[in-house]
């Protein structure tokens, strides 16, 4: 039930974001006295609407987005009333059209930044010094967090009835103890401890540790488990020893900020997200084969793109596992990605309209300097083949990601 609630809640968050995107276009267009005739949430048949002034507002039956109709977005629009010719969008200065067309993405950025600032002052933002790779975690000091049990087989799951208790817990070790040696072999980092423990025969072992600054020893009955080689999680498993502990990083995972300091932290984190988003978008073509593999029965790569369906499913998982931090961070990441994606210079995206507006402006400036007549506006009809190609490719990719998210979804929490 909690999972379904989370799915529905995240879907509502996305719908609100997209609706605000369109509201950004509408409000800036109205501010410049462009004519906006329709603003609707959803697509398909109209469920409810009303008209105020010259704009019809309403809700449609398919809650998968929204739209607003600005009169005369292109010179080729044939639905402009002669009385509204002077208010057609394409007749306005390029800077005004740029503001209107970018307002949707700016709304997504504002939502992401606002959410990040609130998180920074309430629950904290990710610490950039927190380990982000397997090697980084291995280099952390061997400070332990007790596991409730030992899972003997090689499986990522929660403890179940019949699983042996944690040997470290039975030996009276505690969360926060720093392991310094196992059977006389010194360890200085988490990776060292894993190597030494796995290389020790199951059974009694002397573990030296430091607690509250004081050294101590304990006899731990190491358990026999099946694990793949370190650094090769898909490798063949073999019998090794385990102590029943997890890493407790000494570097805080999140940092909380005051209201003023949160602005700088939000800006820094946004810059990091911008770099990550750019890299993710560059890798999208490379991930298509991995998506197809996931659909045809292969393992789903955690690094493959997800659709709105997949994002909503992950939102449901976060809620079901009381991981609200992940829920809101997913909301932030999705808004940031949509904002950047919509600014790509491709029709029918907002960035395509912006790119054409500035191309027209640059071309007019150049022709004026050359003493040649202004070539006028770009003929959007001649760009329709490219537009249709973008729509076709985008639609196929969306279908691919939705299918993968339905038949083989990414799961962050073991079941």
Domain annotation for the chain: domains and CATH numbers: 94-130+256-415 (no CATH), 134-247 (2.30.42.10)
Rounded CA separation 271/249 (Å) = 25
Give me the pLDDT at residue 303, please: 84
Q: Tens digits of per-residue pLDDT, 339-398?
A: 999 999 999 999 999 999 999 999 999 999 999 998 888 888 899 999 999 999 999 999
Rounded CA separation 203/224 (Å) = 8
- Cβ contact 218:241 at 8 Å: no
- Work out the average pLDDT over 79-93: 87
Reported confidence tier of residue 84, pLDDT bands at 50, 70, 90:
confident
- Cβ contact 20:115 at 8 Å: no
Rounded CA separation 130/127 (Å) = 5
Rounded CA separation 68/79 (Å) = 15
Cβ-proximal residues to 342 (8 Å cutoff; 6+ apart), any chain: 21, 104, 105, 108, 349, 350, 351
Burial class (CB in 10 A: 0-12, 13-18, 19+), 62: exposed
Q: Tens digits of per-residue pLDDT, 27-81?
A: 999 999 999 999 999 888 999 999 999 999 999 988 878 899 999 888 887 778 8
For tokens 């007749």, name the residue.
Answer: 91
- 149 DSSP 8-state letter: B
Q: Give me the sign of the Cα torsion angle 380, 385, 391, 393.
A: negative
3-state SS, residue 189: coil
Task: Of 137, 158, 140, 142, give the one whose Cα is nearest residue 245.
Answer: 142
- Cβ contact 29:73 at 8 Å: no
pLDDT at 415 over 70: no
22 among known catalytic residues: yes
- Work out the average pLDDT over 302-313: 89
Average pLDDT of the residues of the chain: 90
Helices in 238-307 by DSSP H: which ranges? 261-295
Rounded CA separation 54/52 (Å) = 6
Give me the pLDDT at residue 414, please: 56
- 165 DSSP 8-state letter: B
- Cβ contact 249:234 at 8 Å: no
Read off the tokens for 329: 């961070």
22, 208, 317, 360: which is the annotated catalytic residue? 22
Read off the tokens for 252: 């805080």
Rounded CA separation 70/30 (Å) = 9
Cβ-proximal residues to 85 (8 Å cutoff; 6+ apart), any chain: 72, 91
Question: What is the model's pTM?
Answer: 0.83
Give me the residues paired with residue 36 across strands.
70
Query: How many percent of the chain have pLDDT more than 70?
Result: 100
Backbone phi and psi for residue 240, each to the nearest 5 degrees, phi listed first: -140, 175
Reported confidence tier of residue 242, pLDDT bands at 50, 70, 90:
very high
- Cβ contact 76:347 at 8 Å: no
- 140 DSSP 8-state letter: S
Give me the pLDDT at residue 143, please: 93
């Amino acid at each position: 039930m909690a999972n379904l609630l989370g799915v529905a809640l995240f879907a509502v968050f996305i719908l609100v974001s997209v609706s605000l995107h369109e509201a950004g276009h509408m409000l800036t267009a109205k501010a410049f006295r462009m004519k906006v005739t329709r603003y609707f949430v959803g697509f398909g048949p109209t469920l409810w609407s009303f008209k105020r002034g010259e704009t019809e507002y309403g809700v449609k039956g398919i809650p998968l987005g929204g739209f607003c109709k600005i009169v005369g977005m292109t010179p080729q629009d044939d639905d402009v009333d002669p009385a509204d010719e002077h208010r057609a969008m394409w007749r306005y200065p390029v800077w005004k059209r740029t503001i209107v067309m970018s307002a949707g993405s700016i709304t997504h950025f504002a939502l992401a930044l606002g959410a990040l600032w609130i998180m920074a002052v309430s629950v904290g933002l990710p610490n950039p010094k927190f380990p982000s790779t397997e090697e980084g975690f291995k280099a952390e000091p061997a400070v332990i967090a007790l596991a409730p049990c030992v899972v003997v087989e090689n499986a990522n799951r929660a403890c179940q009835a019949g699983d042996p208790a944690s040997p470290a817990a039975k030996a009276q070790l505690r969360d926060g103890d720093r392991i310094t040696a196992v059977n006389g072999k010194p360890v200085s980092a988490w990776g060292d401890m894993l190597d030494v423990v796995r290389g020790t025969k199951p059974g009694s072992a002397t573990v030296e540790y430091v607690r509250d600054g004081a050294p101590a020893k304990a006899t731990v009955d190491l358990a026999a488990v099946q694990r793949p080689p370190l650094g090769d999680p898909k490798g063949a498993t073999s019998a090794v020893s385990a102590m029943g502990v997890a890493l407790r990083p000494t570097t805080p995972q999140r940092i909380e900020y005051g209201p003023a300091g949160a602005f700088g932290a939000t800006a820094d984190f946004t810059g990091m997200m911008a770099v990550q988003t750019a890299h993710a978008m560059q890798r999208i073509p490379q991930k298509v084969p991995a998506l197809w593999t996931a659909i045809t029965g292969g393992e789903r790569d955690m690094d493959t793109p997800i659709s709105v369906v997949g994002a909503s499913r992950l939102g449901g998982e976060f809620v079901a596992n009381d991981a609200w931090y992940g829920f809101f961070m997913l909301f932030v990441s999705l808004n940031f990605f949509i904002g950047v994606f919509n600014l790509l210079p491709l029709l029918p995206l907002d960035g395509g309209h912006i790119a054409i507006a500035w191309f027209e402006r640059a071309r007019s400036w150049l022709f004026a300097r050359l003493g040649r007549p202004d070539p006028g506006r770009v003929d959007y009809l001649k760009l329709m083949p490219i537009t249709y190609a973008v729509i076709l490719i985008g639609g196929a990719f969306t279908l691919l990601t939705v299918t993968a998210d339905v038949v083989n979804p990414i799961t962050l929490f073991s079941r």
